Structure 1
Amino acid sequence: MDSSTQKSTIPKRMPSSLLERNLKTTNLLVRIGLQTSGDMISDIFKGKTADFNKSLLSKKNIFSTVETLKQLRGAAMKFGQLVSIDSQIIFTPEISKIVGQLRSSGYSMPPNQIKKILDKNWGKGWLKNFESFQVHPFAAASIGQVHRAKLKNGPELAVKIQFPNIRETIKNDMRTLRFLLNTSSFLPKSFNADYYFEICEEMLLAESEYTVEAENIKKYSDFLKNYENLKVPTVVSEYSTDQILSMSYQEGSEFSFENSLSKLDRNRLVEVLIQLLLDEIFVFQFVQTDPNLANFLLKSEGVEIVLLDFGSCTNVSSETKNLYADLLDVGLTLDRQKIKNFLFQKGFLPDEMDMATNNLINQLIDTAIDELARNDNFDFANSKIFELIELEQLKEFQKIIPQTLLSADFVFIQRKILGFLLFFRSIEAKVPILKILKKYSSIIQNK
């Protein structure tokens, strides 16, 4: 097996039993407790006032937490990916640093652990069918890692290998992660952690079904037959099992401002993604719901997007589709009172709100209406909407959103929309949103 790699990772055996994984988190809590106590005692002897929060969030504690959670991967990595979308408006810089580092793991399974999994799934003579197989992964997944390989007289593959026994440990890992983060007081009290934990567990369980993901890819491939700018990998069924997913290898780079795209290309890319999301909701009624931008690759030869990772998908119910159609219609009126009446009617807003909350809602709606109507292109980088949902305002806004009353597919779609909005802001996109939505609304009405 070839050992070249595109991304630097450190081979480290993946803890596969519940006992191993629990021991790691127990040791972490002990280290955090000792380090925090030691720092506070040191401050007292130096004549300083002991500060628990400052000692808790010391560089050593942050390093220990990140290292342990990265070794466990799975739940911690997915939690980091989910929460990182909101981290810039919810967390302190120290917590944002932890969350950001959890998005990817610096560790990978060592060759002997990989070979054991491949032997079990492909049989011990599998290597004779390959021209090359890189033992170091070129990409990380929350519950596995992806390797580049080349079949003899066959295509180049991206082989996603699931961590051993990961499905059996997901629920326990989520309980452990919840206990660890709550006990250590790393998360602010205002943060609705349970909401993220529940979504995280549901997504991980779905993503562990590689056979289902293979079917999702095939399904999505059929949807995209007539799309010039979008493509998905081809599943290689002969080398796919419930623990391994083999697909055609795709060249490309992850989305970022540093992709050196022109402003025009960035804006075209955003328009393609908006069109795709609308089609997912109203045409496919099937949405790839993971908002992690690593699930999209940008082809170097132009604005062509490769969609990856279909472990977390949801069917869109007719009720949710109709709800979005109604939201689109009322939103396009650009009438604050009509929009508020609709939100009250559908239960998105409570019948009674205090003055501060009511003013915040009015500000958000008025700002959106003004910015959409004022210019042909919506300027994501300079939109005042994002200023209105900074930390303090967001706390108030979260209190009135009835998350438990919303359907699961609606919640997942909203998270994808939020992820897109923050991405569009980060690359300073300017697109004619109102024009796009009006055109799409007329198409829906004529069907």
Structure 2
Amino acid sequence: MANRLGHRHDGNVSEIVSKRSSRNAKLAKIPLGIAGRAAVGFGRKLAGGDKQEINAELNQKAAEQLFAVLGELKGGAMKFGQALSVMEAAVPEEFGEHYREALTKLQAAAPPMPVAAVHRQLDQQLGTGWRQRFREFDDQPTASASIGQVHKAVWSDGRVVAVKVQYPGADEALRADLKTLNRMAGMMSALIPGAEIKPILAEISERTEEELDYRIEAGHQRQFAKAFNGHPRFVVPKVVASAPKVIVTEWLDNATPVSQIIQRGMADPEGTVELRNRVAALMGEFHFSSPAIAGLLHADPHPGNFMMLEDGRLAVIDYGACAPLPNGFPKVLGELVALEVEERYDEVVALLHDHGWVIPGKTVSIQEIQDYLRPFTDPIRTETFHFTRRWMQRVAGKATDISNAEMMKTARSLQLPAEHVMIFRVLGGSVGICAQLDAEVPFMKLMNDWVPGYAETRRAVG
């Protein structure tokens, strides 16, 4: 039967595939298919075919297969695909259109699970009398994601609510996917230029158990909702009820996902400049201010998790992945940026050594650090910075250029301390979304207002 999302199912097709062998077989299609097409392409080149045209065709088919499988499997596969989609702007133009289309599809809804499966999950999580807690419950989902889908309902007190229900078997599927994807990381790194495959998978793996328990998500969301209650620019829906695999929150009316605003901007760049700049500025402010206001960092910067309301406020959903920062951002981050702005590289190097950024036993010179950081420092050279796809592609290209021996030597001497990993993943994802928005952001004002250590270090210089 058809449903409101335009998908069709027969009651079984959309059940999440939980058997490890079944999921592994689907994921295994990716490298096998790519290898087979590469062999065919090599033969066509030998026969005198146009190399550039053949390579483009092979890349397109590889991208389509990769993301079709990731989206179909939901679980860890789809979550990984969604994480990649944030970095879509970094994909070089020669790979651009087909990768971009495939990646952005993963920001949309996936086929829903059957109604009977939804009801069974609600029976188990909210009790067999769960219907009495709702005045109305819409069996057809309004949205779906990597490990759950959302239904619109009316709570017993008359509030319109969003009910997120985790897919049965999502826990087993998520764990199985991540093991398989980690084995395929090398192949996918070659397939998707500019994407940091291994760190993305490592981070998803690390927070897997936390995201599978919706009670943890509910706790995060309650903390954010309390901290941002009444804020003039941000809305965090309140939590109404929660269980390990079901969470009920307030419904958002007339909310436009940032993913739609990105698409609108690509179709009408001139007519959406003001909107795109506002969205990017609000997203930046939310991420930079949250540790100071809420003691947490929202760690899933995906365009579907941010929505513009008609009154101009930014609504933020999905708090499954959050980094606890009860004292705000680490002071050393502000100090490093301030020293970089002032080009005091001797002090930058000393700070990197003192705080564990240089691998024990390794050394880096002032000139090496200066050369290494140069491609990443454009946003701190002016008060506002215009993030674009072209800029993202240039930075990603330099960061992953293995032919640059000096850059690679420096990179192999450095490490990102564990306490900063999630912060930099969020920053990278946010920058990726700003580049997709093609937006100008008051980056240095955000640093000055919200990152400890920055303003103090700049004042000390002055």
Q: TM-score range by the shorter chain?
A: 0.7 to 0.9
The residue that corresponds to 2:332 in the other structure is 323
Residue 311 (structure 2) pairs with residue 301 (structure 1): yes
The residue that corresponds to 2:364 in the other structure is 352
Task: Tell me the alpha carbon deviations over residues 258-309 of structure 1, each in whole angstroms, 9 at most, x when there is no partner.
Answer: 379865554444444333333333454311111212111110122x111101
Q: CA–CA distance in 2 between the matches of 1:360 and 1:185?
A: 21
Deviation at 1:154, TM superposition (A): 2.2
Deviation at 1:250, TM superposition (A): 1.0
Deviation at 1:199, TM superposition (A): 1.0
Give, as a single letter, the amino acid of the residue that structure 1 aligns with 2:428.
L
Residue 76 (structure 2) pairs with residue 75 (structure 1): yes
Deviation at 1:144, TM superposition (A): 1.0
- Indicate conservation of the 8 Å contact 1:298/1:306, yes or no: yes
- Indicate conservation of the 8 Å contact 1:4/1:135, yes or no: no
Residue 112 (structure 2) pairs with residue 108 (structure 1): yes
Q: CA–CA distance in 1 between the matches of 2:391 and 2:32?
A: 43
Deviation at 1:173, TM superposition (A): 1.1
Task: Tell me the alpha carbon deviations over residues 317-373 of structure 1, each in whole angstroms, 9 at most, x when there is no partner.
Answer: 7696222242354355465665565446545466336988854534654x555x41x
The alpha-carbon distance between structure 1 residues 271 and 381, as it changes in their structure 2 partners (threshold 3 A), is closer
Secondary structure of the 1:108 match is coil
Q: CA–CA distance in 2 between the matches of 1:245 and 1:406?
A: 34
Q: CA–CA distance in 2 between the matches of 1:166 and 1:413?
A: 26
Task: Tell me the alpha carbon deviations over residues 8-61 of structure 1, each in whole angstroms, 9 at most, x when there is no partner.
Answer: 444422212323323433466666666666x4597489675999x949936555
Q: CA–CA distance in 2 between the matches of 1:329 and 1:50?
A: 48
The alpha-carbon distance between structure 1 residues 381 and 160, as it changes in their structure 2 partners (threshold 3 A), is same
The alpha-carbon distance between structure 1 residues 355 and 22, as it changes in their structure 2 partners (threshold 3 A), is same
- Indicate conservation of the 8 Å contact 2:384/2:441, yes or no: yes
Give, as a single letter, the amino acid of the residue that structure 2 aligns with 1:326.
E
- Indicate conservation of the 8 Å contact 1:70/1:107, yes or no: no
Give, as a single letter, the amino acid of the residue that structure 1 aligns with 2:323.
T
Q: CA–CA distance in 2 between the matches of 1:443 and 1:207?
A: 33
Residue 431 (structure 2) pairs with residue 425 (structure 1): no
Q: CA–CA distance in 1 between the matches of 2:38 and 2:454?
A: 60
Give, as a single letter, the amino acid of the residue that structure 1 aligns with 2:317.
L
Q: CA–CA distance in 2 between the matches of 1:344 and 1:317?
A: 25
Among 209, 220, 224, the residue aligned to 1:220: 224
Please list every run of 5 or more consecutive structure 2 residues that lacks an aligned counterpart in the other structure.
none
Q: CA–CA distance in 2 between the matches of 1:402 and 1:81?
A: 28
Q: CA–CA distance in 2 between the matches of 1:431 and 1:355?
A: 30
The residue that corresponds to 1:120 in the other structure is 124
The residue that corresponds to 1:25 in the other structure is 27
Q: CA–CA distance in 2 between the matches of 1:153 and 1:30?
A: 54
Q: CA–CA distance in 2 between the matches of 1:345 and 1:296?
A: 37
Between 42-51 and 98-107, the greater mean CA deviation after superposition = 42-51
Secondary structure of the 1:301 match is coil
Between 21-30 and 406-415, the greater mean CA deviation after superposition = 21-30
- Indicate conservation of the 8 Å contact 2:227/2:293, yes or no: no
Between 179-188 and 145-154, the greater mean CA deviation after superposition = 179-188
- Indicate conservation of the 8 Å contact 1:267/1:430, yes or no: yes
The residue that corresponds to 2:385 in the other structure is 379
Deviation at 1:413, TM superposition (A): 1.1
The residue that corresponds to 2:197 in the other structure is 193
Task: Tell me the alpha carbon deviations over residues 152-200 of structure 1, each in whole angstroms, 9 at most, x when there is no partner.
Answer: 5521111111111222332221122233565688636986532221112
The residue that corresponds to 2:397 in the other structure is 391
The residue that corresponds to 1:140 in the other structure is 144
Residue 236 (structure 2) pairs with residue 232 (structure 1): yes
What are the residue-to-residue correspondences of 1:5-44 with 2, within 5 Å?
5=4, 7-11=5-9, 12-26=14-28, 39=40, 43=44
The residue that corresponds to 2:257 in the other structure is 254
Between 81-90 and 176-185, the greater mean CA deviation after superposition = 176-185
The residue that corresponds to 1:310 in the other structure is 319
The alpha-carbon distance between structure 1 residues 184 and 332, as it changes in their structure 2 partners (threshold 3 A), is closer
Give, as a single letter, the amino acid of the residue that structure 2 aligns with 1:253.
T
Q: CA–CA distance in 2 between the matches of 1:388 and 1:44?
A: 29
Q: CA–CA distance in 1 between the matches of 2:195 and 2:447?
A: 33
- Indicate conservation of the 8 Å contact 1:330/1:342, yes or no: no
State the identity as a percent: 20
Give, as a single letter, the amino acid of the residue that structure 1 aligns with 2:363.
D
The alpha-carbon distance between structure 1 residues 149 and 263, as it changes in their structure 2 partners (threshold 3 A), is same
Task: Tell me the alpha carbon deviations over residues 51-104 of structure 1, each in whole angstroms, 9 at most, x when there is no partner.
Answer: 9x9499365554444333222111122112222233433563355554443444
The alpha-carbon distance between structure 1 residues 202 and 387, as it changes in their structure 2 partners (threshold 3 A), is closer
The residue that corresponds to 2:422 in the other structure is 412
Q: CA–CA distance in 1 between the matches of 2:66 and 2:141?
A: 24
Q: CA–CA distance in 1 between the matches of 2:277 and 2:89?
A: 23
Deviation at 1:216, TM superposition (A): 0.8
Secondary structure of the 2:161 match is strand
The RMSD of aligned alpha carbons is 4.1
After TM superposition, the score normalised by the length of structure 1 is: 0.79
Q: CA–CA distance in 2 between the matches of 1:364 and 1:132?
A: 51
Residue 165 (structure 2) pairs with residue 161 (structure 1): yes
How many residues align? The count is: 433
Between 169-178 and 325-334, the greater mean CA deviation after superposition = 325-334
